[in-house]
Amino acid sequence: MSNVLSVRDLRVSFASEAGRVDAVRGVSFDLEAGRTLGIVGESGSGKSVTSLAIMGLLDENAKVTGSIVYDGQELLGMSDKQLSVIRGNGMSMIFQDPLTSLTPVFTIGDQLIEALTVHRGLSKKDAWERSVELLKLVGITEPERRMKSFPHEFSGGMRQRVVIAIAMANDPKLIICDEPTTALDVTIQAQILDLIEKAQLETGAAVIMITHDMGVVARTADDVMVMYAGKPVEQAPVHELFHRTRMPYSIGLLGAIPRVDKAEKVPLTPIKGNPPLLINLPDACPFADRCPIAIDACRAGEPELLPVATGSGDAHRAACIRVHEIEDGGLINGLPVYPVREVPESPLTRVPREERPITLEVKNLTKTFPLLKGAFLKRKVGEVHAIKGVSFDVREGETLAIVGESGSGKTTTLLQIMDMVKQTEGDIIIAGTSVNDIRSHKVERELRRDIQIVFQDPMGALDPRMTVADIISEPLFAIGTPKEEAHRRVDELMDLVGLNPAHSDRFPQAFSGGQRQRIGIARALSTNPKIVVLDEPVSALDVSIQAGVINLLDELKAKLGLSYLFVAHDLSVVRHIADRVAVMYLGDFVEHGDVDDVFENPQHPYTQALLSAIPVPDPDIERTRQRVIFDPDSMTTRPISV
């Protein structure tokens, strides 16, 4: 088979205030028609820049060298005009955010027809017919009618389907997918991945799948390239990479992901530290500072990406000088590359659940939004039920996770509790005090001491104009703690969450994402709360960083006897961290119980579909298991069909 795309020693650098940023430092690969290359890496690893360089969509201040040969033509050095003949015609791209990749002021039909007529010179009528055909192909019902709809009339998943239809429009030879499902719910993600596979079969195109999700790679890719600090560090066929991993970074990445299909709670292996800044990199292995098995020779020169013999006969290349010592299963000389940590155990776990005190009790929580009509004088014409009478309790030393997709009402539930909204029919009882009894601000402030929150976005939750010490001590001053004591407590807390107390006079910008989330956790713990509400605390973090934060949460729970109310959409994380789980669908709990019961033996069809949609980071399991999807009309599941 001939190569559709052949990249050799691709290098991209940008000029910046602090110096030259080397975003991509020597990427080479070949891609045949009909095959899928998965590029995995954390943010800043250069995977997106690589794809943009191939598409020729980089900014003018980017310096690109090397060679990109597509279909026999050298792309580097082509003018934008020459490139646009190729872009969209032979090469197409699916971006992460379907909201911004469609123009809001044109109908879906117009955009599809434009894609067809620009490159093909089809007549309006032919283009229309082909567009309807494409929409049908990507599973949009009533395509004739939908042609006249605007992007905002579609849901996120539907929009991504339209984007795929546009990408398929001109029988591309290469489809580049840049995190195509990151912005979508997990059940939609599964459908979109199936659809991309279908588009590939239909057009015979080669696909580059860029993602940070090992599960997505396990499911879709034929070959995998792991990138770190702008360079590929391991390149191999998918089974080879997952089963005979050789590069310590890839081993760490795989060990850092919680598994939805594993019950026992093994602590995750976080990779310590942060990726290096891509400015003036020394001639050393860029991973050496984070690598648990680094030796002096690692810092003497950057290792090349060299072939490794793993005994399977597959082409496998890795950039590590100790690669020959590493064995299957992430072992070196019989010991794991990443030392296993002890699982912290709390004395509370031995006390039966019924005997532990209740820290948060919610009875019949209801929230409705009024539907208003009228331009000037608004009158109420109905109600939307965002939460329909939800009841649960959280006991000391326990984690309750509420899972659900976007719009299920899980965040609204949290906000009702945090806002301490008085309930007419139900009740919210925090550490023994009912919110219906709050009569003054003083009582409310006292109660806030017992319940604290950690937000999703570690960037947005910390005031950028305050030092870390000020941020952590803010809740203490709010409840009137004397200054001396607050300062002592700040040092104590920073120690507790694994930050250096000497850094307390810095601003949050000086910290990485994972460290910022630790600051957020320290702030939440400052008042010694009984219950901590965690609103998607790790979903904005990279996997290697995420693992560290999850371990910290586990540890803190055991050490301090905390209760967590955990809201998440990532079921793998929930499986790992939660004791009990509640599945929320359309404002109501459809299933609620012990985490292993729910995950092993889901009763409600919605839970079954949700669980079956999660990709497992193991290509053997992932490609053989049977998946089901949920049909909201009949409230049953059915096997998938795209």
Helix (H) or strand (E) holding 547: helix 543-560
Among 92, 200, 359, 452, binds other proteins (CB under 8 A): 452
Q: Does 412 bind other proteins (CB under 8 A)?
A: no
Closest listed residue to residue 272, CA positions, set 286, 299, 290, 292:
290
Residue nearer to other proteins on the CB measure, 178 or 194: 178
d(CA 515, CA 586): 35
State yes or no: residue 213 binds other proteins (CB under 8 A).
no
- Which residues are bridge partners to 74 per DSSP? 69
Q: Which of residues 74-133 bind other proteins (CB under 8 A)?
A: 95-97
Q: Cα–Cα distance between 73 and 151 in angstroms, integer?
A: 35
Q: Is 589 in the site for other proteins (CB under 8 A)?
A: no
Window of 192-200, 300-308, 512-520, 614-622 that interacts with other proteins by CB under 8 A? 512-520
Could you tell me where the beta strands, DSSP code E, fall in 181-230? 206-211, 223-228
**Rounded distance, CA 498 to CA 494, Å?**
6
CB of 445 to other proteins, least distance (A): 4
470: number of Cβ within 10 Å: 16
User: Looking at 14-22, 364-372, 554-562, 597-605, which segment touches other proteins (CB under 8 A)?
Assistant: 14-22
Q: Which residues pair with 177 in a beta bridge?
A: 94, 209
State in angstroms the smallest separation of the CB of 80 from other proteins: 17
Q: Work out whether 513 is an interface residue with other proteins (CB under 8 A).
A: yes
Q: Does residue 510 interact with other proteins by CB under 8 A?
A: yes
Considering only residues 337 through 366, tell me which ones interact with other proteins, judged by CB under 8 A.
none
Binds other proteins by CB under 8 A, chosen from 4, 7, 21, 629: 21
- Which among 160-168, 359-367, 405-413, 444-452 is the span making contact with other proteins, rule CB under 8 A? 444-452
Binding to other proteins (CB under 8 A) within 41-60 occurs at 42-44, 48-49, 52, 58-59
DSSP state of 275: P
Distance CA 120, CA 114 (A): 10
Q: Rounded distance, CA 324 to CA 400, Å?
A: 44
- Give the three-class secondary structure for 60: coil
Q: 12 vs 165, which CB is nearer to other proteins?
A: 12
CB of 25 to other proteins, least distance (A): 12
> Which long-range contacts (C-beta less than 8 Å, at least 24 apart) are formed by 617-624?
617/214, 617/215, 617/217, 617/218, 617/242, 617/254, 617/257, 617/259, 618/218, 618/242, 619/218, 619/219, 619/238, 619/239, 619/242, 620/239, 621/261, 622/215, 622/218, 622/219, 623/218, 623/219
The least distance separating other proteins from the CB of residue 453, rounded to whole angstroms, comes to 5
Measured in whole angstroms, how far is the alpha carbon of residue 181 from the centre of its chain? 9
Q: Which is nearer to other proteins, 223 or 536 (CB)?
A: 536
Q: Which of 201, 340, 372, 479 binds other proteins (CB under 8 A)?
A: 479
Give me 431's structure tokens.
Answer: 């550490």
Q: Does 14 bind other proteins (CB under 8 A)?
A: yes
Binding of residue 489 to other proteins (CB under 8 A):
no
CB of 630 to other proteins, least distance (A): 28
Alpha helices in 422-542 (DSSP H): 441-448, 468-478, 483-496, 513-525
Nearest in space to 299 (alpha carbons), one of 273, 326, 316, 281: 281
DSSP track, 306-364: EE---SS-S--EE--TTTTTEETTTEETTEESSPPPPPP--GGGGS-GGGSPEEEEEEE
**Would you call 12 helix, strand, or coil by DSSP?**
strand
Out of 33, 459, 621, 628, which residue is the one contacting other proteins (CB under 8 A)?
Answer: 459
Considering only residues 129, 133, 202, 444, which one is a binding residue for other proteins as defined by CB under 8 A?
Answer: 444
- Give the interface segment with other proteins, choosing from 275-283, 290-298, 395-403, 607-615 (CB under 8 A): 275-283
User: Of 278, 298, 543, 584, which one interacts with other proteins (CB under 8 A)?
Assistant: 278
Query: Please, what is the minimum distance in Å from the beta carbon of residue 281 to other proteins?
Result: 11
Site for other proteins in 161-190 (CB under 8 A): 178
Q: How far is the CB of 23 from other proteins (least distance, A)?
A: 5
Instruction: Using the minimum distance from each CB to other proteins, give the nearer residue, 210 or 552.
Output: 210
Contact positions vs other proteins (CB under 8 A): 14-18, 21, 23, 42-44, 48-49, 52, 58-59, 61-62, 95-97, 178, 274-278, 418, 444-445, 448-449, 451-453, 455-466, 474-475, 478-479, 507-513, 516, 520, 523, 527, 540-542
